[in-house]
Amino acid sequence: MHISYWKNIRQDRFGNLGLIVVIIIIALAIFAPLIARFRPSTYTGVIFRSPSLKYILGTNDVGQDIWSRLLYGARTSLFVGFGVGIFSAFLSMLVGGTAALFGGIYDQIAMRFVDAILVIPPIIIAVLVATYLRPNMFVLILLLSFIIWPGGARIIRAQTLSLKERQHILASKTFGANWIHLILKHVVPDLGPILIAILITDIRRAIFMEAGLSFLGISDPTMISWGTMIQHALQFSYLEVWKWWLLPAGFAISLTVVSFTFIGYAMETTLNPLLLKNNE
C-alpha cells in the first residue's frame, strides 16, 4: 500500500480519533484478564451492587462483575467482527474477482446470486438459521459473512472489470496465467486500498449485527457479548440496575461502531480524490 495513502488517512482528524479508540478497545480486550478483577462468570457474593471502587460498574442479578463482563464482551465482539470482516472480504474478492475475469454465463449467474442475497432481509436469514441450530461463535461468523459479503463482491467486480484491460494483466493472460495467479499477483495488489476499506466496513457491520442478534437471542446464550448483556439487563428494567448495566454495554457498541465508521470515512476520503479535494 502506498505511503501517501496512509499519510492522507493520518491527516484526517476523525480517522485518527477512530483509530486511537479502536486500538484502546483492542488493548482492553487483549489484556482483559489483567485488567478485570474477576472472571466474567465468577460469583462475587453480592447481587445488584451499585458501582464502587471494588465493583467499577456494579454487579448483576447473579453477582457477576459487570466491568469484567464488559471487557470480555469486547473480545467476543472484536473476534466476531474481525473474523467476519476477513472471511467476507475473501468471499467478495473470490466471487467478484472471478466474475469479472471469467465473464459470460458465470458472471451472470454469480451476480444474480449476489442480487438474490442482497434483497433478502438479513434478519430473516438469521432467524431461519437459528430455528434449526443455536449459532455458536464459529457458526455466527459464517452466518454474518454469508449475509455481508455480496455488497463487497459488486464493488470488487466493478473495479476488476477496469483492471483486467490494463497492459500487465493482458500480458499475463497472453502468457497463460490462470485466474488464481491473476487475482493474487495483480488484482489483489491493485485493489489493496479498496479491499481494506471493504474490510473495515464489514467489521463495523459485523460488530453491530452480532450485538443485534445477541440482543434478539439468536446466539449462544453462554457466549459473553455486549448484545447479551443488554438483553439480560432489559429483564430488570423495572429496577435501577440498568444505569450501570445496560448503558455501558450500549455505549461500548456505539463507540466501537462509530470509531470504525470514522476510519472507513477517512479511507473513503483518501480513495476518492473529489472528496479529498473538497475537504481541503
Burial bucket for residue 193 (CB in 10 Å: 0-12, 13-18, 19+): middle
* CA-based nearest residue to 77, from 5, 39, 20, 28: 28
pLDDT at residue number 178: 77
Q: Up-side HSE of residue 4: CA atoms within 13 Å toward CB?
A: 4
Query: Could you read off the pLDDT of 123-148 as tens digits, one per residue?
Result: 788 777 776 777 788 888 998 999 89
Contact 249, 73 (CB under 8 A): yes
| Residue 256 cell numbers, joined | 466501537
pLDDT at residue number 279: 40
Task: Please report, for the chain, the start and end positions of each structural domain, with discontinuous segments joined by +.
Answer: 80-222+260-279
Query: Could you read off the pLDDT of 69-107 as tens digits, one per residue?
Result: 999 999 999 999 999 999 999 999 999 988 988 888 999
pLDDT at residue number 7: 61
pLDDT at residue number 70: 93
Looking at the DSSP assignment, which residues form a beta bridge with residue 65? 59
DSSP secondary-structure letter at 186?
A: I
What pLDDT tens digit does each residue of the chain (280 aa) get? 445 556 656 677 888 889 899 999 999 999 999 998 888 888 888 888 888 888 888 888 888 899 999 999 999 999 999 999 999 999 999 999 889 888 889 999 999 999 988 888 877 887 777 767 777 888 889 989 998 999 899 989 988 888 877 777 777 777 677 778 777 777 888 888 888 889 999 999 999 988 888 888 777 778 888 988 888 888 887 777 777 888 899 999 999 999 998 888 887 766 654 344 434 4
CATH 3.90.550.10, applies to 80-222+260-279 = no
pLDDT at residue number 10: 66
- Encode 202-270 in three state secondary structure: HHHHHHHHHHHHHHCCCCCCCCCCHHHHHHHHHCCCCCCCHHHHHHHHHHHHHHHHHHHHHHHHHHHHH
| Residue 151 cell numbers, joined | 455488497
- In degrees rounded to 5, what are phi and psi of residue 221? -65, -20
pLDDT at residue number 186: 75
Question: Angle at the Cα of 32 (from 20 to 85), degrees rounded to 5?
Answer: 55
For 65, the 3-state DSSP assignment is strand
Burial bucket for residue 112 (CB in 10 Å: 0-12, 13-18, 19+): exposed
Query: CA 158 to CA 93: how far, in whole Å?
Result: 11
pLDDT at residue number 95: 92
pLDDT at residue number 256: 95
